[in-house]
Structure 1
Amino acid sequence: MKIGELAQLSGFAASRIRFYEAQGLIHQVHRRTNGYREYPPQVLRTLEIIQCAQQAGFSLQELKQLLPAGGQGDWKQDEMLASLESKVEQIEEMQLHLAQSKAKLLGIINTIKVRPDGMPCEENAERVLASIKGNQ
């Protein structure tokens, strides 16, 4: 199929498909005598895998290592499982970091809200900064 048809079926812009081809993620692209690209039907599945993997947080470099060489052949199941498990660990680490950041911000918000009556704003700012430094 031509790139326009592949773009329509996949929902990707033609420029993005060409980019993935240039990055080595899409293989088996044939050129017609008129210079038009001819894509085999399995490229549509590859594009769906790329999109799904990117939404899960995989970089293009990580994807390149996981996709079968030359666009054909067996998937590297052990490597794929290890990469998926590693990505889950990375997500869990990010979640922990975000939870800690959220807790710190909520603490700061609370410290600001419980400003003693009549305390000038500048003095309250110093109090909040002192509490932040004390929690580090």
Structure 2
Amino acid sequence: MKIGELSQLSGLTASRIRFYESQGLIRQVERSSNGYRRYSQQALQTLQLIQCAQQAGFSLDELKQLLPDNVTGAFKHDELMAGLHRKVEQIEEMQRHLAHSKAQLLGWIDTIQAKPEGMSCDENAERLMTSFKH
């Protein structure tokens, strides 16, 4: 398929597809006699994998380690599993951090809403800032 069709099927721009190709993420791209790129169904599957992995937080460098080997076209099981486990650990750490941040924000909301009657917004903000110092 030509790049326009691949772009339409994947939802990615042609320039993004060419970028992934230049980064070595899409392999075995053929050229027709007039120089047009010709992509296989495998390229579409790879682009879908890239999009899914990026949504999970994988960087392009991390993705390169997860994709099939350039020479054999086979996945490297141990590297794939290690990379997936590392990302799960990173996500779990991020979840812990986000839960802590959420708890802090909810505490601030409670503190702001519990302002003494008659206290101005500025005074209440100062009261909140003072609580941060402790």
* TM score, norm. by length of structure 2: 0.89
Look up the match of 2:8.
Answer: 8
Deviations 1:29-78 (A, max 9, x none): 12222111112231121112111111111111111122123275220111
In structure 1, distance between residues paired with 2:4 and 2:121: 61
Match of 2:78 in 1: 78
Flag the 1:108–1:75 CA change in 2: closer, same or farther, 3 A.
same
Q: Which amino acid aligns with 1:80?
A: L
User: Residues 111-122 of structure 1: matches in 2 within 5 Å?
Assistant: 111-122=111-122
Which residue does the alignment assign to 2:127?
127
Which is worse superposed, 68-77 or 12-21?
68-77
The C-alpha deviation readout for 1:85-129, integer Å capped at 9, x for no partner, is: 111111111111111111111111111111112234333222111
State the Cα distance separating 1:83 from its structure 2 match: 1.0
User: How many equivalent residue pairs?
Assistant: 134
Unaligned runs of 5+ in 2: none
Runs of 4+ more than 6 Å apart? none
Structure 2 counterparts to residues 1-136 of structure 1, below 5 A: 1-70=1-70, 72-134=72-134
Separation in structure 1 between the aligned mates of residue 47 and residue 127 of structure 2, nearest angstrom: 54
* Cα distance change, pair 109–47 in 1 and its aligned pair in 2 (3 A): same
Letter in 2 for 1:41: Q
Q: Normalising by structure 1, report the TM-score.
A: 0.88
RMSD: 1.6
